[in-house]
């Protein structure tokens, strides 16, 4: 004697999970026939081959989809699982920077001669009768920068570029202290003469720095630190720049992946420049002689602090543009950049 048991698919729903439940609700109950071993003709647990038997297949386990996470930044998986949006780790940028800054001088050393040029390679001395007046740097920097988000909150970058421009330096010479009697005498003093000159800048620059950043979908804040070393071919206008900046602002979604981020902040931009060279005056004395001046002077930013106003436009997860203006008491700086993140 055999006993047949009828099972509906709906009875298996608890074993299939949510997907199984949805399928069970869509399908009508289908009987599955299984055999209960009550047949006295079964031998050693083997059913009579003459009796057809249908065995239900076990439900396959539904495996969760495995997410793919980038290798960088370190800790990026944990940040994504907590709901944070993180940028693509690697980036490449093209930058244009124009800077105008008033400078202070120190360590002015000269060699001065009447009617001829001081010998090249001769000693340069600090003298009290030669002082500097106007000092202003005009420089334009075109730079390629590569960066990586090492952690979700820490970006490291390095750049190489070209700096071109000039430094305007005014020099005041007390001719009475420089030229002895009889050329300059109390009855007919020579007085002072202004000898302005322009030191050209044509340097290769190397930049290293980092950014600490934090934010959400609606705001951001960042602190950056960068050091730039700019080297001239003949040690005529070596430059070092230290840039520390804090920025913060809101983030506005413009639809899709397009995000506009205006921001404000403060910037400490300290520039140290060493300039050297040779300058000649016109005729200064009764005999028609001129003055030749070989010089070397160190210049630094007079007022390095400035305010920041700018905006960043993320066109997609790959492309972004930035424009920024820095305005200080005796400086102004403009920055343009285009960034690609593969």
- Residue 181: what pLDDT? 64
Q: What is the pLDDT of residues 282-330, one digit of tens each?
A: 777 777 788 888 888 888 998 999 999 999 999 998 999 999 999 999 9
- List the single range of 139-148, 168-177, 267-276 with lowest mean pLDDT: 168-177
Overall domain count for the chain: 1
Tokens 């105008």 sit on residue: 100
- Residue 236: what pLDDT? 59
- pLDDT value at 39 more than 50: no
Asked if residue 333 is part of any domain, the answer here is yes
**Residue 6: which residues within 8 A CB-CB, separation 6 or more?**
31, 32, 33
- pLDDT value at 84 more than 70: yes
Q: What three-state secondary structure class fits 175?
A: helix
- Residue 235: what pLDDT? 55
The stretch 5-26 carries a mean pLDDT of 33
Bigger pLDDT: 2 vs 156: 156
Query: Closest Cα partner for 164 from 128, 134, 139?
Result: 139
Cβ-contact 306, 269 below 8 angstroms: yes
Query: Closest Cα partner for 198 from 169, 239, 237?
Result: 169
Asked if residue 100 is part of any domain, the answer here is yes
- Residue 14: what pLDDT? 32
Bigger pLDDT: 324 vs 170: 324
Cβ-contact 118, 111 below 8 angstroms: yes
Q: What is the DSSP string of 37-85?
A: S--TT-BTTBPPTTS----PPPPPP-PPPPPP--S-STTHHHHHHTT--
Q: How far is CA 187 from the centre of its chain?
A: 63
Tokens 């202004």 sit on residue: 194
Query: pLDDT category, 143, cuts 50, 70, 90?
Result: very high
The stretch 183-193 carries a mean pLDDT of 74
The stretch 170-188 carries a mean pLDDT of 76
- Residue 23: what pLDDT? 36
Cβ-contact 111, 122 below 8 angstroms: yes
Cβ-contact 240, 271 below 8 angstroms: yes
**Residue 210: which residues within 8 A CB-CB, separation 6 or more?**
154, 155, 156, 157, 224, 225
Bigger pLDDT: 64 vs 140: 140
Asked if residue 12 is part of any domain, the answer here is no
Bigger pLDDT: 39 vs 83: 83
Asked if residue 21 is part of any domain, the answer here is no
Domain that holds residue 184: 76-340
Q: How far is CA 169 from the centre of its chain?
A: 32
Q: What is the pLDDT of residues 150-160, one digit of tens each?
A: 999 999 999 99
- pLDDT value at 252 more than 80: yes
- pLDDT value at 339 more than 90: yes
The beta-strand segments (E) located in the chain are: 3-7, 32-36, 90-114, 130-151, 154-174, 192-194, 197-215, 219-231, 237-250, 252-253, 259-280, 291-301, 305-314, 319-328, 331-340
Q: Write the CATH number for 107.
A: 2.40.128
Asked if residue 230 is part of any domain, the answer here is yes
Asked if residue 255 is part of any domain, the answer here is yes
- Residue 51: what pLDDT? 43
- pLDDT value at 56 more than 70: no
Rank 3-12, 70-79, 145-154, 289-298 by mean pLDDT and report only the highest: 145-154
- Residue 206: what pLDDT? 95
Asked if residue 23 is part of any domain, the answer here is no
Asked if residue 288 is part of any domain, the answer here is yes
The stretch 178-206 carries a mean pLDDT of 79
Whole-number Å distance between alpha carbons of 95 and 228: 14
Bigger pLDDT: 125 vs 265: 265
Whole-number Å distance between alpha carbons of 324 and 263: 9
- pLDDT value at 40 more than 50: no
Query: pLDDT category, 274, cuts 50, 70, 90?
Result: confident
Q: Which residues pair with 56 in a beta bridge?
A: none
């Amino acid at each position: 004697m055999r006993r047949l048991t009828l099972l509906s698919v709906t009875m298996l729903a608890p074993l299939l999970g949510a997907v199984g439940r949805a399928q069970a609700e869509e399908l009508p109950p289908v009987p599955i026939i299984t055999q209960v071993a009550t047949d006295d003709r079964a031998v050693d647990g083997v059913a009579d081959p003459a009796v057809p038997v249908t065995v239900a297949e076990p439900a396959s386990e539904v495996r969760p989809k495995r997410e793919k996470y980038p290798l960088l930044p370190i800790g990026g998986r944990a940040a994504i699982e907590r709901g944070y949006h993180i940028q693509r780790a690697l980036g490449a940028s093209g930058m244009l920077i124009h800077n105008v800054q008033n400078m202070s001088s120190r360590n002015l050393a000269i060699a001065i001669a009447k009617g001829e040029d001081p010998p090249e390679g001769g000693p340069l001395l600090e003298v009290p009768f030669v002082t500097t007046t106007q000092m202003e740097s005009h420089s334009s920097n075109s730079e390629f920068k590569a960066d990586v988000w090492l952690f979700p909150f820490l970006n490291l970058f390095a750049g190489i570029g070209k700096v071109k421009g000039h430094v305007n330096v005014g020099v005041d010479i007390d001719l009475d202290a420089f030229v002895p009697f009889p050329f300059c005498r109390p009855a007919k003093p020579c007085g002072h003469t202004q000898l302005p000159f322009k030191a050209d800048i044509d340097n290769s620059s190397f930049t290293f720095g980092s950014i600490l950043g934090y934010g959400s979908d609606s705001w951001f804040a960042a602190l950056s630190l960068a050091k730039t070393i700019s080297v001239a071919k003949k040690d005529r206008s070596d430059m070092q720049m230290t840039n520390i900046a804090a920025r913060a602002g809101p983030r506005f979604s413009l639809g899709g992946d397009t995000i506009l981020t205006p921001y404000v902040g403060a910037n400490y931009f300290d520039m140290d420049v060493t300039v050297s060279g040779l300058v000649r005056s016109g005729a200064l004395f009764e005999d028609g002689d001129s003055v030749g001046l070989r010089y070397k002077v160190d210049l630094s930013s007079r007022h390095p602090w400035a305010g920041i106003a700018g905006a960043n436009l993320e066109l997609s997860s790959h492309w972004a543009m930035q424009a920024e203006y820095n305005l200080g008491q005796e400086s102004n700086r403009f920055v343009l950049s285009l960034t690609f993140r593969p």
